[in-house]
Amino acid sequence: MTYVKYELTLGNLLKSSTVRNPGQEIVDSEFGRTTFSKFGTDVTSLAKGLVKIGVKPGDKIGILDWDTINFLRSFYAVPMAGAILHTVNIRYPTELIYYTIQHAEDSYLILRDEIAKMFVEYKELFGFVKGWIIYRTSKEEINLPFNNVINFEDLLNSDENTPLPYISEDDTATLFYTSGTTGMPKGVSFTHRDIVLHAFSIANTVSDYPISLGSGDTLMPLVPMFHVHAWGLPQLFLLKGLKYVLPGRYNPEKILELMKSEKVSTTAMVPSILYMLLAAKNSSNILPSLNLRCIIGGGALTMELKNRAKSFNVTSIGAYGLSETAPLVSFSTLNSETWDLDDEEREKYEIKAGIPAPFVEIKILQSKSDIGTEVKKKFGEILVRSPYVAKEYYKDAEATKKLWAEGWLHTGDLGYIDEKGYLCIVDREKDAVKSGGEFIPTLILEDVVSLYDGIDRVAIIGKKDEKWGERPVAFYTSDNTIKKEEVDEFLKRFVEERRIEKFWMPDEYVKVDSFDMTSTGKVDKKKLREKYYS
Amino acid sequence: MTYVKYELTLGNLLKSSTVRNPGQEIVDSEFGRTTFSKFGTDVTSLAKGLVKIGVKPGDKIGILDWDTINFLRSFYAVPMAGAILHTVNIRYPTELIYYTIQHAEDSYLILRDEIAKMFVEYKELFGFVKGWIIYRTSKEEINLPFNNVINFEDLLNSDENTPLPYISEDDTATLFYTSGTTGMPKGVSFTHRDIVLHAFSIANTVSDYPISLGSGDTLMPLVPMFHVHAWGLPQLFLLKGLKYVLPGRYNPEKILELMKSEKVSTTAMVPSILYMLLAAKNSSNILPSLNLRCIIGGGALTMELKNRAKSFNVTSIGAYGLSETAPLVSFSTLNSETWDLDDEEREKYEIKAGIPAPFVEIKILQSKSDIGTEVKKKFGEILVRSPYVAKEYYKDAEATKKLWAEGWLHTGDLGYIDEKGYLCIVDREKDAVKSGGEFIPTLILEDVVSLYDGIDRVAIIGKKDEKWGERPVAFYTSDNTIKKEEVDEFLKRFVEERRIEKFWMPDEYVKVDSFDMTSTGKVDKKKLREKYYS
């Protein structure tokens, strides 16, 4: 024999982690507690069970569930069986769930019984599905008249003797769909190596202040697993040997109770979930004593939200990424330029998209005009290279070509790098308002408008304008109706401070009862534009 | 354009790190201070300078220096120029230095002027060296009559326009030689990918308690750079954005002064260097206030040394690795099984070789007998697989075959895995004493014998014995001559505790003035055996 390559696979990550911290706990609010060691055994059994029922390398297996231990087991077992786990977005409308399963051509589906019901009526559409792997949670027996129903629990108790296939780190491990602004969702897939390197890179970053993740911390993901691998947290907890608490289906009061009983110290979520937690009935009883540290991604962390969180003793920082980048590429942990700043100054950096994670290279495509704010930096489209980003859109050569134009991954976001090396997002390229030939970055504008007392949440979009091309209009939720003149007066100081330009100030303020949200908890500006300006 | 692979190269590590923490400092006791940003610029210039003088991809470039900023620059610049850095062991005898340079066929040598002197007399032996790259440190001009002398400083100020070659992560980056017990030193080489993955793996581990390396820490390597990449610390500090302090040529008092002035918090070294530091004149003035955390490798951390260090407020843990494994594969940081133990119990684990680093798989080849100690575990040769270990010995197919017998890397060390998942080293396979068909592990035995008050340092080797094959003899340094009966009496409790077996107790105690040490600071048992029993 000679040298044997040791691959960066999910199977090897799992094996290594169970050896390192065998007795560490995984807690599922619904299914109870297990240890890394038992988890490893269960996952291996499940992988063998999948091979035994006929799963072949390269098969796609769709999964639809909330964040449970069974999802987590499948996350490792399916790729260990050589198959590709398609994490179906259960917050999609039914048609899109159907569409993505059909587009992926999933050979098997892993389903919680309640969720499986949604397929019964149209099961003829899924003739390509070779097996329906169901696990039971309901007390009432749900009738699921599919061809070849397999009990998930049976697979967990599989024959020890079935061999698992050899997995290369370059084999595809996962596939999921990301909503574009136009057209149907696009498929993005990642290899074992991508996912492992993402885990290493973020593990290295989140050990920095003020997240300071390390021995003794307990991690609870508040990002669903169907949303870009729950941002890599299902690998991070294993790599770092941390106790992991799965929240199941989201219910803010229940989540807070679970945080309290399990002493959760660290979490990650989109801004709307943090708003929801802070507004929960039991938040002021529970949060202050937890000393919670929270990574915010999938949308801007505003100073208003950071301050609100701080009043509950919750430390929050911004992070940035997208489906195509696995997802996280930057974190606003502190670096050599910011760790000596005083609190107030430092917190201004903690709400940014942050400094690039190790081995992430970020370039700004400077085709856009100067935004002329206090930072005096050019902004442009954010381009990314890293060892763990998506190589293509699944079965979509045209979109892939655009994604990788000029050999850089195009994020579709506008931003700049500030004087201390922090990435700052100014807008989605498609959401920016173009007025008189200049871009008005709505995220920066929303950040300052949201500081006005009478406003609860705000979203700014462009309205066609004969003279200027487009002009910004602010939609907001509030108990009161606000007066434009008063907000204008309030915004003056930000113009003076050069945080915004005078011509950015919204022309109108429109009160709405609520906003349509995307499946990732952001205001759906596409819908807002359609509703008011199409 | 399509997807561009982003490689795990040293160049990308450097680029990423300088962007992340541009203003972080590197301090060289001899050459002063620089920042990550300036370091990055200098390294790139140096790499371009090397290309400009004719360095070609795959060329080997030998370097001989103490731990200076110039060594550190070369560590990145040479591989970035596509060449292979041969880190020559300057503690070798001259003949072996000559031998390794000849065996490697170095095309260029990078030399500090004082060290370059050693080649003047026999320069004809190095006709294959195309260029002698010298940097000046002495006030007196040293005459160096080599063909093609190049000034290192000139390369640091090279033409910006020279392009650097494309580097694949699978290109070889480094080469160095490791002393075997028999025959000549063997060459071991590592790729960019190996070195980067080693850095990621150890970075993840050393953030665990009690090393807890993170933001704000200052790292000083007390492992020379020619010794297995200084255990990966030259990558670790960049990856984690830590201030890095280079000690230059080792002088214990000077090192301690530097630790004090630069507020060093974390370091790594072999046991003999820690003994040296603790014994330095200024140790009790300086160490207690530093709260130093120290990783001990390259030899066993005994409880005696750990306690001695603790009395200076130095926290020490064991680590394990060898040249062939890049080197570190395990650390005795705490895991799920040990972090709840009380101090005294926990410290027993902190002196072990430790739990495997992420993605390191350790297997015990159980061909050896039961050691019958309190741990009731079988021991055997330690085998390793990981993504960052050496694939071969350079130009030595025979030794490579043995190294990778059965598809596992053979460490030549004997050990076992304890009940909490910690690797414990019991001996070098070649140093174990075989008595009556059973192995006596000398490291375990030395650990308990060293606790006897009258003994300073101890080394146990086997002496031929007609009846038993071999019997253990203890060589020791001390101010007094000790009595065997008294040590025997002292050792009884360890026999009762089953930490050692009765038949392990040394037959003789031989006082010596001092020990011959290997270049890595271990007692040279090979020389001891030659001196007394050959």
Say what the pLDDT of residue A441 is. 84
How far apart CA A451 and CA A465 sit, in angstroms, is 27
pLDDT band at B367 (very low <50, low <70, confident <90, very high): low
> Which CATH number belongs to the domain containing residue B398 in this structure?
3.40.50.12780
**Quick one: B56 and B83 in the same domain?**
yes
Residue tagged 């209009």 (tokens): A473
Task: Output the CA torsion sign for B374, B378, B381, B385.
Answer: negative
Q: B356 pLDDT exceeds 50?
A: yes
* pLDDT mean over B229-245: 98
pLDDT band at A367 (very low <50, low <70, confident <90, very high): low
Residue A278 burial (CB count, 10 A): 18
Q: A248 pLDDT exceeds 90?
A: no
Identify the residue with better confidence: B158 or A22.
A22
Pick from B207, B240, B404 the residue to mutate for testing the A interface (most A CBs within 10 Å).
B207
> Which CATH number belongs to the domain containing residue A447 in this structure?
3.30.300.30
- The last residue of one of the domains, among A392, A409, A428, is A428
Judged on CB neighbours under 10 Å (0-12, 13-18, 19+), B92 is middle
**Quick one: B93 and B143 in the same domain?**
yes
SS3 A202: helix
Q: A208 pLDDT exceeds 50?
A: yes
**Quick one: A406 and A447 in the same domain?**
no
Contacting residues of B for A6, CB less than 8 Å apart: 359, 361, 385-387, 389
Residues 6+ apart with CB under 8 A from A467: none
Distance from CA of B242 to the nearest CA of A (A): 9
Identify the residue with better confidence: B450 or A234.
A234
Backbone angles phi, psi at A517, to 5 degrees: -110, 155
Q: Which residue of chain B comes nearest to A12, CA vs CA?
A: B359
Identify the residue with better confidence: A523 or B182.
A523
Contacting residues of A for B22, CB less than 8 Å apart: 336-337, 421
Name the amino acid, one letter, at A285: N
Please report whether residue B203 resides in a domain: no
Please report whether residue B229 resides in a domain: no
Say what the pLDDT of residue A368 is. 43
**Quick one: B353 and B484 in the same domain?**
no
* pLDDT mean over A178-186: 76
**Quick one: B458 and B375 in the same domain?**
no
Helix axes A283-290, A252-262, angle to 10 degrees: 40
Chain A touched by B479 (CB under 8 Å): no
The partner residue sitting opposite A16, judged by closest CB among B209, B333, B359, is B359
**Quick one: A60 and A126 in the same domain?**
yes
**Most confident segment among A303-307, A444-448, B443-447:** A303-307
Cβ contact B337–A23 (<8 Å): yes
Q: A478 pLDDT exceeds 80?
A: yes
**Most confident segment among A30-44, B179-193, B458-472:** A30-44
How many domains is chain B partitioned into structurally? 3
Average pLDDT over chain A, rounded to an integer = 92
Say what the pLDDT of residue B237 is. 98
Backbone angles phi, psi at B450, to 5 degrees: -65, -15
Q: B189 pLDDT exceeds 90?
A: yes
Cβ contact B22–A386 (<8 Å): no
Q: B48 pLDDT exceeds 70?
A: yes
A316-355 pLDDT, tens per residue? 999 999 999 999 999 999 999 999 999 999 999 999 999 9
Please report whether residue B255 resides in a domain: yes
Chain B touched by A464 (CB under 8 Å): no
Please report whether residue B372 resides in a domain: yes
State the virtual CA torsion across B486, B488, B491, B493 in degrees, nearest 10: -90
Percent of chain B's residues with pLDDT above 90: 76
A278-315 pLDDT, tens per residue? 999 999 999 999 999 999 998 889 898 999 999 999 99
Q: B526 pLDDT exceeds 80?
A: yes
- The last residue of one of the domains, among A167, A189, A211, is A189
What ipTM did this prediction achieve? Answer: 0.90
B261-309 pLDDT, tens per residue? 999 999 999 998 999 999 999 999 999 999 999 999 988 898 989 999 9
Bridge partners, residue A305, by sequence? none
Q: A356 pLDDT exceeds 90?
A: yes
Cβ contact B22–A334 (<8 Å): no
* pLDDT mean over A195-215: 95
Bridge partners, residue A459, by sequence? A475
Q: Which residue of chain A comes nearest to B196, CA vs CA?
A: A359
Name the amino acid, one letter, at A71: F
How far apart CA A379 and CA A361 sit, in angstroms, is 16
C-alpha pair distances (Å), A202 with each of A172, A324, A534 = 20, 16, 41
**Quick one: A28 and A122 in the same domain?**
yes
pTM to 2 decimals? 0.91
Which structural domain, as residue segments, surrounds residue A132?
10-189
**Quick one: A257 and A405 in the same domain?**
yes
Please report whether residue B200 resides in a domain: no
* pLDDT mean over B32-47: 97
SS3 B318: strand
Distance from CA of A202 to the nearest CA of B (A): 10
Chain B touched by A401 (CB under 8 Å): yes
H runs (alpha helix) in B207-251:
233-240
Contacting residues of A for B242, CB less than 8 Å apart: none
pLDDT band at A374 (very low <50, low <70, confident <90, very high): very low
Apex A74 CA angle, A71 and A76, nearest 5? 120
Chain B touched by A102 (CB under 8 Å): no
Contacting residues of A for B359, CB less than 8 Å apart: 6, 8, 12-13, 16
**Quick one: B135 and B86 in the same domain?**
yes
- The last residue of one of the domains, among A428, A450, A482, is A428
B465-523 pLDDT, tens per residue? 888 889 999 999 998 888 999 999 999 998 888 888 888 999 999 999 999 887 667 78
Chain B touched by A190 (CB under 8 Å): no
**Quick one: A416 and A477 in the same domain?**
no
C-alpha pair distances (Å), B381 with each of B363, B387, B412, B426, B437 = 8, 20, 6, 10, 17
Residue B228 token pair: 């297995």
Residues 6+ apart with CB under 8 A from A476: A449, A455, A456, A457, A458, A459, A482, A509, A510, A511, A512
**Quick one: A460 and A390 in the same domain?**
no
Q: B369 pLDDT exceeds 70?
A: no
The partner residue sitting opposite B204, judged by closest CB among A2, A21, A203, is A203
A68-127 pLDDT, tens per residue? 999 999 999 999 999 999 999 998 889 999 999 999 999 999 999 999 999 999 999 999
**Quick one: B416 and B350 in the same domain?**
yes
Please report whether residue A235 resides in a domain: no
Please report whether residue A231 resides in a domain: no
Please report whether residue A166 resides in a domain: yes
Chain B touched by A419 (CB under 8 Å): no
Cβ contact B400–A20 (<8 Å): no
